[in-house]
Amino acid sequence: MPGVAVGVLRDGVEHTAAFGVTSVDNPLPVDADTLFQVGSITKTFTATAAMRLVDQGRLELDRPLRAYLPIYSWRIRG
């Protein structure tokens, strides 16, 4: 990947940083508004975040999803 944009929200304040170019073929500078195709990387990110919550004791893998998101429990069957 020739460039990257990173954003962090802390205490209600957004912090961004951008580095590199959008692509080798079309080298435009990356900024905080540059869109990237993330593809399947979101699955890895979500799984890592979930397992960190398990490590912290804040999430149980065998507990039904509706226990954590009760507002959606009427839509979940099973």
Catalytic positions are 40
Determine the straight-line distance between the first and last CA of the chain, rounded to whole angstroms.
Answer: 42
Q: Using CA atoms, how far apart are residues 4 and 19, in angstroms rounded to an integer?
A: 5
Provide long-range contacts, Cβ within 8 A and 24+ apart, for 6-10: 7/32
Take residue 15 and report the two structure tokens written for it.
């912090």
